[in-house]
Amino acid sequence: MAQYDNLKTSLDTVRAKIARHCEISGRPSSSVCLIAVTKTHPHEVISLLSQLGVGDVGESYVDEFKVKFPCFPAGDVRWHFIGHLYRKHTPKVVGKAELIHSVDSLRLARKIDFTAGQLGVIQKILLQVNTSGEGTKQGFTPDSLKGTEFLKEFSLFENVEIKGLMTMAAFTLDEAIVRQSFRLLRETRDKLTEMTTWKLSELSMGMTNDYGIAIEEGATMVRIGTGLLGHRNVKPKS
């Protein structure tokens, strides 16, 4: 576990940066939830993070989540599923993850609603929005979220609760492009709030390279992996 000897120092650095950018945007640092992205890292790291006061953990791979989840008593960790979720894998995540960030299609939302109904739970979700316009990124377009078909379908769901939106900015050094991706998510959230009765309190945006900008544009959740834990290990085989 020598790789994590400097974990406290890294965490202090991240927390200080969050506080700095919250101050710039006129918000308390408590308004931003730090999600430690632990994918490909051993479950022992989650215990270390918990000892340092980090209770929100993000996982991206279903098979890895399935292994780590039973290692912690209920309530010890708030699990966030942040990776692409295939419909066939919803039973492995629904009812276990506090929040699914990556709901990127109506078909997936339908399956989550169905699975949650079978389990007798209400699953909290975020809608993933492609704000960069890149073909390599998944998610709803901002315009599709405001369409009649989308709004009608979501009004029929009984077992999901939409808490907000999620995005990933374009991978570029151009700060203006990154900022626009985050601003568009916030503007999309605000428009949806006007059009519906949904309480969309969460904006999950910002990772190691850009979370300062995301906070300035209204992020309430930032997903930090490399900035806390160093480079990822090899993805575990299924």
CATH code of residue 71: 3.20.20.10
Q: What is the pLDDT of residues 88-146, one digit of tens each?
A: 999 999 999 999 999 999 999 999 999 999 999 999 999 999 998 887 788 999 999 88
> What integer best gives the mean pLDDT of the chain?
94
The answer to whether position 211 is within a domain reads yes
pTM surpassing 0.75?
A: yes
- Per-residue confidence at 32, pLDDT binned at 50, 70, 90? very high
Query: How many CB atoms are closer than 10 A to CB 148?
Result: 7
Domain count, the chain: 1
The answer to whether position 234 is within a domain reads no
Token pair recorded at residue 186 = 């916030």
The answer to whether position 149 is within a domain reads yes
The answer to whether position 236 is within a domain reads no
pLDDT of 47 strictly over 70:
yes
The answer to whether position 139 is within a domain reads yes
Q: What is the pLDDT of residues 1-25, one digit of tens each?
A: 778 999 999 999 999 999 999 999 9
Domain coverage including residue 49 = 2-229
pLDDT of residue 238: 42
216 vs 152, higher pLDDT: 216
The answer to whether position 165 is within a domain reads yes
Q: What is the pLDDT of residues 148-170, one digit of tens each?
A: 788 888 888 999 999 999 999 98
pLDDT of residue 146: 81
The answer to whether position 238 is within a domain reads no
Mean pLDDT computed over 208-233: 94
pLDDT of residue 134: 82
